[in-house]
Structure 1
Amino acid sequence: MDNESTGAAVPAGVIPPHIQDTDQLLDPVLFSNDNRNFKLKTVPAFSIHLLISSVISCVGIGLAALWPAERRCDAYFIMLYLRATFWVITYLFDHFVKIQHQKLRMSGYHDFHRETSMQKGIPLQVVSLWNSMLLAVQAMIHHYYGVSFWEHCAAGWLSPISYVTAFSVAENVVLAIFHGCYIDKVRKFNKANLAPDVLRGTDQVGGSLGLMQPGGDTAELLEKQADLIAYLRDHTHRLNLSMHKMQTNVRPVRTPQIP
């Protein structure tokens, strides 16, 4: 068969490129190859965050145990500076994790997003809570000791550096538990290499997302419907961009006129 636009012959059994492009655009938008290869890239961030917390705890233990009595006040303020810096690091870390989980949700993995929605925010909550309690303890120490605070800095194991170190070690234990559970979940999720929930049918309740069995959770159904709408809207936007790009790349071809 001859190609009407160019007049060139097309071998039998070969589909013209423009027909292939059209068929590709007509494929269901849900079957995106990018979604099947999605990996949640938060394990290194959680590992580094836990490492920093462990280092701060070890520094506090070393300062409390090894520094001489006349320098224990300096050790106390060093730990306070480290605690403040650690909160800033945790805030940036939390922002990065939220971006990655937003990509997870927009890629169609709503079940895992809901499963880890609480765990991803625990580090910032724990560090903020610990710093608030530490601030309260510091205020009580200064209020109780008053002008004699510098004398009590060298009070052995009851010095302020010991309090700060104890808070840091306790915080590190809590973070290790939550970080370990989260990292294990994410590694299993990445290793499974699952398709989006829509393709696996996990977002369906009672056989259809618009139907619900008697006694079902209405709030959960509405939440899943909202997730699915956001997912479809994102893929529709991607499809529109692909169509626009294809239209801009199409060159006008003159059809030969028959004399």
Structure 2
Amino acid sequence: MESQRTSVYGNNTNVDFTQSTDDDPLIDGPLVSQDAFESVIKREFQKLPTHWAVSVLSFLHVVYVALCIAIAVFCWISDEHTPECTAALQGFDSKTVVLLGKVALWVMVFIYDRFVQHHHGAVRRRGYLDFYRLTRGVKNLPLLIHSAGNALVLTVIAPSALLDARVKKLSLYLLLSIICLELLLSLICLLRYTVHVVKFNSKKPHPDVTEQERSLGCSSEAHTETGFRDGSSLEDVVEKQADLIDYLKQHNSVLSRRILTVTGQQIRA
């Protein structure tokens, strides 16, 4: 009786195991080739579309500075074109027009900053952590420069009567100097940022983890920089490790869905 029970249990176990194996397409299904996943991963790269925003912002900034200089020359420095200036500005004071334009330009810079932050957050989530850190400082500089410029403009406009009493039209010259200096610094930062973005888009790199794995496979002396070493900042190391962990979680979930999709397609084929 015991031998019969054992044989029955053994047969049931085999049947259950066979049924579970047949029901699971991941076990009996065909293996997914490495080339299939590499081709999909290569299509993952998305160019960073912020360089055109840099061009638009730079153009608007140059136009604003050119208008400020034109208004200063024809409306402030010289009194010969006062009627023409009044007609062109539709009764608005020239200084008011310049200040309103400065506010509008700062709003454009703020919108640009939010746009860039959004796309760089997406780049960070896709695993390009080194590029994110490389451009983290330079991408924030235009908003800081314009904010500092607004503070300096207010500092000059508030005591303009006292400044002009000591030196004729001193406030005007200081205002133009601030606006031109702001343009120069902003263009330098935007140009530097554009170079980084163009290089990134042209190189089309894989995520940092994939690049590290390839370097480790090609050279036995290659090593990752996620550990703490002499001369490295502990805060940077911890931040990079946290970013890598977050990226790997997202990458694993996406990869699992792809395995199920590709395997199902091959089984149906």
Larger Rg: 2
Distance 1:95 1:217 in 2: 28
Match for residue 42 of structure 1?
Answer: 50
Shift of 1:164: 2.9
Match of 2:212 among 201, 218, 228: 201
Match for residue 180 of structure 2?
Answer: 169
Unpaired runs of 5+ residues, structure 2, are 1-27, 87-91
CA distance change for structure 1 residues 213 and 129 in 2, over 3 Å: closer, same or farther? closer
CA distance change for structure 1 residues 188 and 208 in 2, over 3 Å: closer, same or farther? closer
Match for residue 23 of structure 1?
Answer: 32
Write the deviation string for residues 102-123 of structure 1: whole angstroms up to 9, x where unpaired: 1111111111110110011101
In the alignment of these two chains, the number of paired residues is 221
Pairing 1:182–2:154 present: no
Unpaired runs of 5+ residues, structure 1, are 1-17, 146-151, 254-259
AA in 2 matched with 1:185: H
SS in structure 1 at match of 2:140: helix
Write the deviation string for residues 28-78 of structure 1: whole angstroms up to 9, x where unpaired: 89x73344x221111111121111111111001111112353458822111
Work out whether residues 42 and 206 of structure 2, in 8 Å CA contact, stay in contact via their aligned partners in 1: no
Match for residue 32 of structure 1?
Answer: 41
Shift of 1:234: 2.2
- Choose 122-131 or 133-142, whichever is displaced more: 133-142
Distance 1:170 1:40 in 2: 29
TM-score normalised by length of structure 1: 0.70
TM-score normalised by length of structure 2: 0.68
Write the deviation string for residues 224-251 of structure 1: whole angstroms up to 9, x where unpaired: 211111211222343466579899x99x
Match for residue 19 of structure 2?
Answer: none
Distance 1:210 1:171 in 2: 38
AA in 2 matched with 1:116: T
- Choose 198-207 or 129-138, whichever is displaced more: 198-207
Distance 1:217 1:40 in 2: 29
Pairing 1:120–2:139 present: yes
Higher relative contact order (CA 8 A, sep 6+): 1
AA in 2 matched with 1:182: Y
For residues 82-161 of structure 1, the aligned pairs below 5 Å read: 82-141=101-160, 144=162, 158=169, 160-161=171-172
AA in 2 matched with 1:117: R
